[in-house]
Structures are given as structure tokens and as C-alpha cells.
Amino acid sequence: MLRVLNGEPVWPLPIWIMRQAGRYLPEYRETRKQAGSFLDLCYNPRLAEEVTLQPIRRFGFDASILFSDILVIPHALGQDVRFVENEGPKLDPVTTEKDFSRLADELPLERLDPVFETLDRLSKSLPKETTLLGFCGAPWTVASYMIAGKGTPDQAPARLTAYRDPAFMDALIDKLVRASTAYLIRQIDAGAEAVQIFESFGSALPPALFDRLSLNPIRRMVEGLKQARPQAKVIVFVRGGGANLHRFASAGIGDGLALDWTLDPAVVLPTMPDTVATQGNLDPLALIAGGAALTDGVDHILGAVRGRPHIFNLGHGILPETPIEHVAQMIARVRGA
């Protein structure tokens, strides 16, 4: 996988999948019961290591991604974060200067020591051929949760804030850029060989806000990480990024760009430089469906990326109801090509 991120075509394609440690696996569900809350699981190095290793043991993916959550950064900064069963994350909204002033000026890295311990453990327990990935959320995506206090369908609370109080939004984004960069640097020091930045809410941003709230903050993060740790490899995933992917590629933001499932690699990739590594982009619902839908989806991607540096993945995270046998079928198809 690291060869691909260096711009080298590799065949068969290396493969991993977003959320590969999670609720579709019975062994994950059993471990989750031991942890208490979801955040307790994220902050328990022994159990977080275990759930990170589970999909590697079962499927032999070429990369293993740290089990954690993008909201550990606002949690470490001092915002109340909790996960409600069957509802998702709940946060005390940050919408005023008073709320903002309660946040730490700089990320208290010691509050995230359990995460770094998990990475250290994984760097020793993973097979040598398995790439260890760290990650964090992009500032816009994390800010959207912090302002709304929860996930929202179109990130309207954060978008309104960006229009009505640009100074407040810029200050929050700036704080998250600095915190996220420090967090990624520490992940590399703890053993991560590459990191992925998740801009899960990129599709919500109109052109008038995209550069200010997504592209430029991610650029600053990547530049800051590369300046501090030149060997670090970075994958940028902008869900709903569409035409903006070309702008990330031309600006050299990241070593790899992940495609969501709405993009046709046969159309998009010929317009991008051959040296830019890409990742993706099977529809998670095709993986649930299995059969011809899965086979055709895999084969279309394989046909479009042959000869290019590409990492096979989904176009978003694997869904809890995904049959395990379909994951095995997908891997066999990719590796048998």
C-alpha cells in the first residue's frame, strides 16, 4: 500500500475498507460489550487494539486503520461528547464566544495518550506487511458536529454560522487545523505509517465556502504534517468532493485521493495525473447486495484503474448489515484479478 502512495502501480490492488473494524463483525460486537461506552472502547488501548486486529485476522486486509473516532479531538479540547445507542454522537453545541472560550487553546495531547498507546501496540502486533493507518476528521466536518451538537442531514447549523459569523467559524476552523495537525504528527510518532483525513461532509459546502472551509484547511494540515514528518503519507477523502478532487490533485494536497461511490473512475481517473494515487470506490450497498451487483462493481473499478496507483476500498464506510461472506467475495475478486 505504501508503494501505491509513492505513486507506483501495484497489481493485484492493495485493499482495505473504511470502518473495517465494526458492527458487521460478531467478534467486534462481543468486544464492544466489554468496553462500556463507545468512547470507553476508543480510550481502552487493549480493546481498541483487539478490534483493530479483528478484520486483519479474518480477512488479511493490506492496511489496518486505528479504531477511534473523529470526535476525540473536540472531546480532548474540552467539549462534552457522548455516544447515544442507536442515535449517534451528542455534543454540547459550541455556538457562542463563551462556548468557544471553554475550549483549550491548544490540543492537550496527553488526553489522547490512550489513542497513541493503541497505535504503539498495533505497530508491534500487526503483520509486517500490513500498513498501519491513523486518521482524523477534517476541520469542516468536525466543526459541523461541534456547532450542531449532533450529525445533521445537510450541516445547516454550521453553514449558517459560516455565513452569519465568519470570524467565529474561521477561529474554530483555525483551532481545529492546529489541533488536528498536532494529533496527526503524534500518530505518526506512535507508529502510524500513513493517515487519512475524513471530510465526510464535503458535499454540504457550496462553492462560495468550499475553499475557505475545506480545501485550504486540509492543505494547511497536510503541509504542517509533511513539514514536521516528511515521511508521512496522507490520503484525503472528501465525500461529495466531485470536481474539487482535481483541485486537490493539481495542488498536490495529499499522496492519495479517495473517491466516493458517486464518481465513475472510468470517467474521473483519465483526467487526473497518472502519478496521483487514488482509492475507492465500491458502493457499500453493492457490497450488501452481493451477487452480480458486487461482481460487476468490483470489475468496473478494476478495469478503470489498471496501470494506475490505486488502493481498492469502498466509497464510504461498510454498513453494519453487510454479510461477512460478501466481504470475502469482494477480497477474492480483487486479489484474483
Residue 300, annotated as binding a ligand: no
The per-residue DSSP string of 92-131 comes to ----SHHHHHTS-SS--GGGGHHHHHHHHHHHHHS-TTSE
Residue 19, annotated as binding a ligand: yes
Catalytic residue list contains 212: no
Residue 254, annotated as binding a ligand: no
3-state secondary structure of 237: strand
Catalytic entry in 24, 28, 43, 145: 145
∠ Cα 237 241 141 (to 5°): 60
Report the phi/psi class of residue 154: left, alpha or beta, with left for phi > 0 and alpha for psi in -120 to 50.
alpha
3-state secondary structure of 322: coil
Q: Residue 237 in contact with residue 251, Cβ under 8 Å? A: no
Catalytic residue list contains 32: yes
Catalytic entry in 24, 28, 62, 69: 69
CA atoms within 13 A on the CB side of 91: 28
Three cell numbers written together for 16: 482495505
Catalytic entry in 24, 32, 62, 260: 32
First vs last Cα of the chain: how many Å apart? 17
Residue 191, annotated as binding a ligand: no
Residue 316, annotated as binding a ligand: yes
Catalytic entry in 19, 121, 239, 308: 19
Catalytic residue list contains 102: no
Three cell numbers written together for 296: 460487476
Name the burial class of residue 127, with classes exposed (0-12), middle (13-18) and buried (19+) by CB atoms within 10 angstroms of its CB.
exposed
Classify residue 14 by its DSSP letter.
Answer: P
Catalytic residue list contains 23: yes
3-state secondary structure of 318: coil
* Preceding peptide of 281 cis, ω within 30°: yes
Residue 20, annotated as binding a ligand: yes
Which parts are annotated binding residues?
19-23, 69, 145, 200, 316
Residues recognised as catalytic: 19, 23, 32, 69, 145
Which parts are annotated binding residues for substrate?
19-23, 69, 145, 200, 316
